[in-house]
Amino acid sequence: MAKKKFRSKPLPADKPAAPPAFAFDKSIFDIEKPRSIFLISLLLFALTAWVFSPALQCPLLIFDEFGYVFKNPHVNNGIHWDNIKWAFLSLEYSNWYPLTWISHMLDVQFYGWNAWGHHLTNVLLHAANTVLVFLVFRKLTGATWRSLMMALFFGLHPLRVESVAWISERKDVLSTFFWLSAMWAYARFAAETKIHGGKAKWFYGLTLFFLIMGLMSKTMLVTLPFVFLLLDYWPLKRWEQKSRWNLLIEKVPFFLPVIGVSILSCIAQQRGGMTHEMINLSLPDRLENAVISYVRYLGKFFWPENLCVYYPHPGHWPADKVILAGLFVAGVSLFAWLKRKSIPYLFVGWFWFLGTLVPVINLVQLGSQSIADRYTYVPIIGICLLVSWGLWELTKQWRQRAVVLSVAVAAAVIVCAALTRYEIQFWKSDVKLWSRAIAVTDGNYVAHCNLGMIVRTLNPQWALNEFQQSDSIYPYYAEAQKALANLLVQGRFYPQAIAHGQVAVELDPSDPRPLFDISCAYRREGNYDEAIRYVRKAISLDPHSLNYQATLCEMLVQSGHGVESIPFLEETVMTMSNQPIILNALGVALIDNRQYDEAITNFQKALQIIPDLAIAKSNLIIAINLKNQPSVQANPNSSR
C-alpha cells in the first residue's frame, strides 16, 4: 500500500504569526535619539539639584554675604540704573565682575533677603553647568556614555560644595555657565568651518560673546582661548586641517578682551591689597607652593577628605615634598606630551588641568591661602575628561565592560553624592564652618581669628582665646592684631590693647580702626595727648567718620583744650550739624570761653535731635546758671 504523503501548507500571507507575550520597542533604548538625550539631561539636572539641595538650608554667612551682598548699598536694593552703572565701574572686592554683581541684584529683586533664594540660584546654575558638560563634550566627541560619566564626576564631586553653597561664589557657577556655552558655540563654529557652512561667522561671534560675558562674571576665563587650542588638537582635530599659525591667528579676537580684563583685574587687586597680603613670599616660595598645589588638588579629587573653607599657607614647604611633587607633575606632563597622538584625551585633559589653574595657582599671591576648593571648579573638568575616557579605554577588552563600568560609576556617584551632602552641613553656620577648618588643618590662624569674630558678641572670652591662638600661630596677621586691640580695650586691658594696636598699625597702616582703638585706650588711661594724637591719625585716614570726629571733639574739651578747639568744633558742626555729641562738645567749649548764649543754642540743638540726652540737659542747666551769674568764673570741670 502506497504511503500517503502529507504536505505542509504555507500560512496565508494575510495571517501573520502570533506575537510574543511581551514585546519591547528597542528603539526607546537608543540613547542617540534627541528624546533620550533630553531625558538624560533632565535626569542629570534633577540629580545634581537634589544632591545640592541641602544648600538651600544654609544661612547668610557673615564674612561675605553681609558685606558682599546684603550690606552692600549698591546690591541690596535690587536692580535699577544707578546700581547697574556702579557694577560696571566698580573695582570693589579686588575684582571687576559686573555680571556677577547684577546677578546678586536680581536675586535681591526676586528673593529679598531670603537666603534660600540666593542659594537656589547657585544650585540651579551648577545643575545647568553639569548638564552643559554632558552636552558640550557629547557634541565635541560624539561619545554619549563617556560624556555622561564625565558630567557625573564633575557635578556631584564634593569639591564643588564651596562654589555652590557659598552665595558669594556666584562668580564661579555663573562664569562657568558662560565658559561652557562658549565651548558649545565654538564646537558649532568648528563644525560649520569643516563643511564650509554659512553659519561659521555667526557661531564665531557667539563664541566671542559668551567669552566676554564670562569675563564679566569672573576673570577665570582668561585661559579659555588656550583651551580652544587644546580642543583644536583633540577632539576637533583641526590641527590636521589648518596650520597652527592660522589657528592662533583665529584666536586673536578672543585674546583681546582677555588682555583687557587681565589688566583691569591686576589694577583692582593691587588697589584692594590682595597682592600684598603675603608679599613676604619670594618667587621660589610661590613656585614651590604651586607645584605642591597641583598634587594636592589631584589628591582631593581622588580622595576628598578634610575639605574646608580655608587652607593656611605654610610659607615654606619641605624640600623632599617639593621635589617629589615636581617630579610627578613633570613626569605626567612629559608622558602626556609624548603620548599626545596615541592618547590624545590624556594630553588635553592634563594640560587643561595645568593651564586653567595658572590664574589661581598663586604664582602671584592673592590672599594668604595655599589652595582653595573653589579654584578647582573649571580645572577639574580636565581630570574628569581623562578619567572617563581612560576608564573606557582600559576596559575595552573586557567582556562585561558595560556591567563593570556601570557598577563602578554608580558606586562612585553614590559616594560622591553622600560626601557632598555631608560637606554641605558645615556651611549651615559660621561657627561650624570655621570650627571645621580648625579641626582638619594645622596652624590655621585665619580660621581661629574668624571664629573669634563670630563669637565675640555672645562669648567674649571664647573670642579672646581664638584671637590669642591666632596670634600665637602667626603674629603677623593684621586682622587678629586688630581684633585683639579692640577686644582688649573693651575688656579694660589698656596696655595690652595699645601693644597689639601698634602691631596692627605696622602691619596695615591704611586701616584707621587700630589707631582709634589705641586712642581709646590712652584716653581711658588719662593720657589725652597721646589719645588726641592717635585719633587725629585715624581721622586723616577716614575724614568722613562721624564717630572719630565726635570722639576728638569730646577729648579736646575733656583735656582742657576747649577754647582752642572752638574753630575746629565749629567747622565740624557745619559739616555734621545733626550730631548731638558734637553740638554738646561745642557747647562745653563755648562755656569755657564764656560764650554762654552760643553754648545754650548748641545744647538746645542737641536736645532737639535727642530730647533725652542727659549730658546735654545737664550742660544746658550749667550754661543758663552761668549766664545768670556772670560774676562767677566758669570752672572748666563743671561741665561735661
Domains annotated on the chain, with CATH: 33-426 (no CATH), 443-543 (1.25.40.10), 551-640 (1.25.40.10)
| DSSP assignment of 8-34 | PPPPPTTSPPPPPSS---GGGG-TTSH
pLDDT at 25: 43
Q: Which three cell numbers stand for residue 165?
A: 553653597
Mean pLDDT of 408-422: 96
Q: Are 224 and 199 in contact (CB under 8 A)?
A: no
pLDDT at 562: 64
**Residue 325 in this model has a pLDDT that exceeds 70:** yes
Integer-rounded Cα Rg, in Å, for the chain is 34
Count the neighbouring beta carbons within 10 Å of the beta carbon of residue 536: 14
Mean pLDDT of 340-350: 97
Highest mean pLDDT among 166-175, 235-244, 593-602, 607-616: 166-175
Q: Which three cell numbers stand for residue 82?
A: 544707578
- Rounded to whole angstroms, how far apart are CA atoms 122 and 217? 13
Q: Classify the C-alpha dihedral 290-291-294-297 as positive or negative.
A: negative
pLDDT at 6: 46
Q: Which three cell numbers stand for residue 577?
A: 550739624
Residue indicated by cell numbers 577632539: 235
H-state helical runs in 474-563: 478-490, 494-507, 513-525, 528-541, 546-558
Mean pLDDT of 435-442: 96
| DSSP assignment of 235-262 | TS-GGGTS-HHHHHHHTHHHHHHHHHHH
Mean pLDDT of 515-525: 95
**Spatial CA neighbour of 553 closest among 574, 627, 609:** 574
DSSP single-letter state for residue 93: G
Residue pLDDT, tens place only, 85-140: 999 998 887 789 999 999 999 999 999 989 999 999 999 999 999 999 999 999 99
Mean pLDDT of 412-436: 97
**Spatial CA neighbour of 615 closest among 595, 593, 586:** 586
Q: Are 513 and 548 in contact (CB under 8 A)?
A: no
- Rounded to whole angstroms, how far apart are CA atoms 45 and 130? 7
H-state helical runs in 72-169: 81-89, 98-111, 115-141, 144-156, 161-165
